[in-house]
Amino acid sequence: MKDFKHDLITVNGIEIHYVEQGSGPLVLLCHGFPESWYSWRHQIPALASAGYRVVALDMRGYGQTSQPAEIEAYGLSSLVGDVVQAVSVLGEEQSVIVGHDWGGPVAWYAALMRPDVFRAVVSLSVPYNPPLSLPDGITLNDVMRQVAGDRDYYRLFFQEPGVAEADLEADTRKTMLGLLYSISGDIVRDGVHSIGWDGHFTKGETLTDQLVIPDELPPWLSEEDLTFYIDEITRSGFRGGINWYRNIKNMTSILAPFVGRPLNQPSLYLYGEYDLIAGNSAEAIEALPSRLGNLQGLYKLEGAGHWLQQERPEEVNRVLIKFLDNL
């Protein structure tokens, strides 16, 4: 990683830190919660060696990128605006966009809104959900509450300012290790290998109450990796990343002009066998061929959980490079 170039660009009213390697067609990598450009550490050199200019962003609110104070600064329009302007400021006209976790919806909707900028799209761990219309006065938060019933849900737990921050920042090492382990393919809960957690839990408990802390790190996560994540989230805090969730309620209105618009660029989706955290239901995955106009591949990585590009880097790299080379 010593060969990675680190730099800052000013886009959309903020400074974005990014890591770059290679030359050729641009590939923009967008991480999720609560991560960093570092989540792509295995992909950057592999894609660069394959002939691509690879740029991994610290997304809005994370790491060395700006962390605006206002909750409203983390809405979908701002997130998409960041990546659209990043392509231009980097001196390019077009890019392939790749997202994981929250970076997935950013990638999907950036491609939907700006097909002139994003010539292809890849998502890991979050399937595409086309823009939908809801009855007046109903938001996606209301839908989540209806599905949760008498349970809490992590996205709902994040809504009240200050509550989730206090929970997650009480012991940053426990939080980061617990999140990385508890929704990975290696999770063992109460002595039994888990098939995944869908993010719901008993009301009155907190998110960190749900986390499992392993006696040993999983093989894909070193102490150096964990320390990097802890240092980065200590630098930025969790608030910026949590604020993305606090804007979910506005996504339907932002996407309203795009209801019915097809997403026709070449697309690719990868998901882990044991990943249930971000809408990876069988129904959502089965619907992708009909929801995407040019789906080039749909890959399930056996035994993997949510952190695909870290848990199965060689497989992810192989699939990504094949997809890129065939564009």
Which residue numbers are catalytic? 101, 306
Please answer whether residues 265 and 111 qualify as being in contact, where contact means their C-beta atoms are separated by less than 8 angstroms: yes
Question: Cis peptide before 34, with omega less than 30 degrees from 0?
Answer: yes
CA distance 272 to 20: 27
| Vertex 240: Cα angle to 235 and 241 (nearest 5) | 100
**Spatial CA neighbour of 120 closest among 128, 110, 129:** 110
Please answer whether residues 283 and 252 qualify as being in contact, where contact means their C-beta atoms are separated by less than 8 angstroms: no
Q: Name the residue type at position 146.
A: Q
Could you write out the DSSP letters of every residue in 88-136? Answer: HHTT-S-EEEEEETTHHHHHHHHHHH-TTTEEEEEEESS---------T
CA distance 303 to 300: 9
Please answer whether residues 125 and 273 qualify as being in contact, where contact means their C-beta atoms are separated by less than 8 angstroms: no
At 261, is the secondary structure helix, strand, or coil?
coil
Measured between alpha carbons, how far is residue 95 from residues 27, 73, 210, 309 in Å?
Answer: 6, 24, 38, 20
Give the rounded distance of the alpha carbon of 237 from its chain centre.
Answer: 17
**Spatial CA neighbour of 102 closest among 41, 30, 22, 155:** 30
Please answer whether residues 111 and 263 qualify as being in contact, where contact means their C-beta atoms are separated by less than 8 angstroms: yes
